[in-house]
Structure 1
Amino acid sequence: MRVGAHVSISGSKVSSDGSTPPYDDLRNAVHRQVAFGGNCGQIFTHSPQVWQDPDIGDEAAEGFRAETAAKLDGPWVIHSSYLVNLCTPKEGLRQKSLDSMQKEVDAASRLGIDYVNVHLGAHTGAGVEQGLDNAVSVLDDLSVPDGVTVLVESDAGSGTKLGGDFEHLAYVLRESSKDLDVCVDTAHAFAAGYDLSTAEAVDSVVAEFDDVVGLDHLQCIHLNDSKHACGTNKDEHAHIGEGHIGVEGMRRIVTHPALEEVPFVLETPTEDGRGFAWNIERVRELAAE
């Protein structure tokens, strides 16, 4: 079973003056993943709240690849910046989003990472079809290196954000000239109205996804429970089995035969004295029941 977490690359090292200034080193992500009990995972290459280029030295890149090969099964996923908006009608934001995504796919190639995950973003008044066409246009302008695939992530669907409907994902995959795939976030899908709280409901959603998008395009699942009810469009993650999706839904997701080869990446909270290690172990317990 491939299960892991979204881990930080930040850390510290001792300088010549004895201080420990913060620095980013991709190898920190491998060490954290192992400590949490994960065997695959996800990272940001930089702070997701600012426009910033990945700053990856040769030594760190080589070390990351070597440590990953030695200690993890993979895959890794790079999550794009939160500022990226593929659906925007604003030319300036479109260009910044394109530039940011180009740097992420290039970083993925350098690090031997298979996937770069991105939200479609919000059409901000342009309309659903125009927003989706805007996203297709940005993705088509990317130069994606061999061995790297862009994953379009499902969304909770609040406001003018797109991706809450499986048909949005299918449209982008169908209309784009690029070979794209999909990441489904269970909390997002649940918030968008896809019930995952019972075994029967999970089976129905998996079948619908296969019919609309195609399970062959599902390359990653962000495995998160939800603090809010189905269809509320509220995106707030809960510990595995302790939210509104609950134990029965989560158990069926992690044991569904059509999903057994798909890596699960957790973005669960760190609260109540529990973090990624607890949630990864919980996933394995549910899968073994």
Structure 2
Amino acid sequence: MLNIGAHLTISKGYERAAKEALSIGANTFQFFTRNPRGAKAKALDLEDIENLDQICEKQSFLSLLAHAPYTYNFASEKEDTWVLAKTLLRDDLDRLQHFKSCQYIILHPGSYVNRSVDYGIHRIAEGLNDVLTGEENTMILLEGMSGKGTEVGGTFEELVQIIEKVKYSDRIGVCLDTCHLYSAGYDIVNSLEDVFLCFDRIIGLDRLKAIHLNDSMMALGSKKDRHAKIGEGTIGLDALVRFIKHPAVSGKPVLLETPNEVEGYASEIKLLKSHYEG
């Protein structure tokens, strides 16, 4: 069974988003914890969350994925930016304690800008150590990045260095994004098995908890993050189907972040299911 969903808006409530997910053939979905370009979060509606949890349980949804806003930058040398990231993550983790249906929050590691990658890695781990208590029921998933500019997380080595520096590392996992992987130089088109073997050797497949499934507008190793619709990019439909069929992905939530509206996600889910089950 393909466990698949898409990134949906929660502006009209979590229950509404769950029903929208069902309408497009999904059994999970992803949502931003707050304004993706800011810091403001809507007030929690506990009744809405309870209704969401009931739908997810009844429909056997796989865990939902919360996505942190892009304003988080745990690698920043700017103290106010770094403190803001810690403050918002702590608040998001506290808010997510109310959800039974959401086990993960996805985090872009951050960008070090004027320093070094080693500084960025240390800064991220230090920030996470300041936030985590070890009592959270939500796991933080570091997202593998495309390696553009000074962002951290474009290699498996960088991700594992962060994880190894976190005290409560059992609360840290990884989300792989197919567009980011390909742009970072991991050839999931021609050497998929080697990529997963590399991930297992460096990080461990037990850390892989979720997938962002996207085609790419850019070439292998471009270091540019440009998502494309499924089958309309340089990765291609066949390679993406092979990816989601791989045993390493089995049983994990697969989330679309393609440049689509809800109707487009419905078409992509239908397309992927037909090839996955065919």
TM range (shorter): over 0.9
Percent of counterpart pairs with the same letter? 31
Post-superposition offset of 1:143: 3.4
Structure 1 111/168 Cα, relative in aligned 2: closer, same or farther at 3 Å? Answer: same
In the TM superposition, what are the counterparts of 1:207-218 in structure 2 within 5 Å?
Answer: 207-218=197-208
Is residue 266 of structure 2 the alignment partner of residue 265 of structure 1? Answer: no
Post-superposition offset of 1:288: 2.1
Amino acid at match of 2:120: G
Which range is displaced more, 239-248 or 181-190?
A: 239-248
Aligned to 2:140, the other structure's residue is in SS state: strand
CA-based RMSD of the aligned residues comes to 1.6
Is residue 194 of structure 2 the alignment partner of residue 204 of structure 1? Answer: yes
In the TM superposition, what are the counterparts of 1:90-129 in structure 2 within 5 Å?
Answer: 90-112=78-100, 113-129=102-118
- The counterpart of 1:181, out of the listed 134, 151, 173, is 173
Aligned to 1:61, the other structure's residue is in SS state: helix
Amino acid at match of 2:179: A
**Could you say which structure has the greater relative contact order, defined with CA pairs below 8 angstroms and 6 or more residues apart?**
2
In the TM superposition, what are the counterparts of 1:158-177 in structure 2 within 5 Å?
Answer: 158-177=148-167
Post-superposition offset of 1:122: 0.2
Is residue 214 of structure 2 the alignment partner of residue 224 of structure 1? Answer: yes
Post-superposition offset of 1:171: 0.6
In the aligned structure 1, how far is the partner of 2:265 from the partner of 2:112?
Answer: 33
Per the alignment, residue 17 of structure 2 pairs with 29
Q: State TM-score, norm by structure 2.
A: 0.94
Post-superposition offset of 1:56: 1.1
Q: Give 5+ residue unaligned stretches, structure 2.
A: none
- The counterpart of 2:74, out of the listed 86, 107, 120, is 86
Contact residue 53 and residue 103 of structure 1 kept, 8 A: no
Amino acid at match of 1:102: R
Is residue 143 of structure 2 the alignment partner of residue 153 of structure 1? Answer: yes
* Partner deviation per Cα, 1:100-131 (whole Å, 9 max, x = no partner): 11111112211221001100110112201111
Is residue 27 of structure 2 the alignment partner of residue 39 of structure 1? Answer: yes
In the aligned structure 2, how far is the partner of 1:70 from the partner of 1:82?
Answer: 32
* Partner deviation per Cα, 1:158-195 (whole Å, 9 max, x = no partner): 11011111111111111111221100111011111111
Post-superposition offset of 1:274: 5.8
Contact residue 50 and residue 81 of structure 1 kept, 8 A: yes
Per the alignment, residue 135 of structure 1 pairs with 124
Amino acid at match of 2:196: V
Contact residue 34 and residue 68 of structure 2 kept, 8 A: no
Q: Give 5+ residue unaligned stretches, structure 1.
A: 12-24
Structure 1 10/54 Cα, relative in aligned 2: closer, same or farther at 3 Å? Answer: closer
Structure 1 54/10 Cα, relative in aligned 2: closer, same or farther at 3 Å? Answer: closer
Post-superposition offset of 1:258: 2.3
Is residue 41 of structure 2 the alignment partner of residue 56 of structure 1? Answer: no
Contact residue 197 and residue 244 of structure 1 kept, 8 A: no
- The counterpart of 2:273, out of the listed 271, 284, 289, is 284
* Partner deviation per Cα, 1:41-64 (whole Å, 9 max, x = no partner): 211132211111342122222222
Contact residue 93 and residue 136 of structure 2 kept, 8 A: no
Per the alignment, residue 4 of structure 1 pairs with 5
- The counterpart of 2:246, out of the listed 244, 253, 256, is 256
Larger radius of gyration: 1
- The counterpart of 1:241, out of the listed 231, 246, 251, is 231
Aligned to 1:111, the other structure's residue is in SS state: coil
Q: Structure 1 stretches (4+) deviating beyond 6 angstroms? A: none
Which range is displaced more, 59-68 or 174-183?
A: 59-68
Post-superposition offset of 1:67: 2.1
Q: State TM-score, norm by structure 1.
A: 0.90
